[in-house]
Amino acid sequence: MSDRQLDDAVAGARLLVAFVSEDDELDHVRDAAVEIGGKGGAKVILYDRDSASAFSDPMPNQWGSQAEGAQFGDPLSDQELVKLGREPFARKVAAAREAGVDAWGWLASDHGTDALVAYARDHGADLILLPADLEDPGLGERLKGETVDKAVEEAQETPAGLAVVLVAADGSTEVAAGRL
């Protein structure tokens, strides 16, 4: 896909959500989100897939101390991420902000790209960025529901349409199944 085609596909995006990890594995997705957000002035939410766990919720719950959950927004600032003990991820959000992007973070509580799409839909996102290698996922990704097909299927249920952009390891991008 040419830069012009991608620009046309993401034109007018006000909010994009990028499927990233706390480590460096998906930095190419983060970098693409920062680039797209910086060009168009879109708000960027870095969605930390690594925070999902079958054993605990990454956010305070009703069993935490009184009003603990009220001190955190949605999405989360880099300072809030530090308070939640997610300093490496907070540094990624802070770096995006330093690059001039309106960047925020969110901690996934459920595995899967369908959970990402649900979060993006609930927040009025126009665009989702996924790593292209999820087009041909390994067993681990399939078991966690981390596939492009799952994201596209879920995104198609969004009335206004939600574009799913795939980001290759070399930083190249393509729109999955066009503007949905």
**What pTM was estimated for this model as a whole?**
0.86
89, 100, 130 from 166: Cα distances, Å: 21, 23, 5
The string of pLDDT tens digits covering residues 60-73 is 555 455 555 456 77
Amino acid 93: pLDDT: 97
Q: Which phi and psi (to 5°) does residue 58 adopt?
A: -70, -15
CA 42 to chain centre: 13
The pLDDT of residue 163: 84
Show the beta-strand stretches assigned E in the chain.
Answer: 15-20, 43-48, 103-107, 127-131, 163-167, 173-176
Q: β-strands 103-107, 127-131: how paired? A: unpaired
Given a contact cutoff of 8 angstroms between Cβ atoms, the answer to whether 91 and 81 are in contact is no
- Give the tokens for residue 89: 């991820």
Answer for the pair 125, 45: CB distance below 8 angstroms, yes or no: yes
pLDDT given for residue 81 in this prediction = 94
* Burial group, residue 3, by CB count within 10 angstroms (0-12, 13-18, 19+): exposed
CB 58 within 8 A of CB 107: yes
The rounded distance, in Å, linking the Cα atoms of 63 and 148 is 35
pLDDT in tens, 96-150: 999 999 999 999 988 889 899 999 999 999 899 999 998 888 888 888 888 888 8
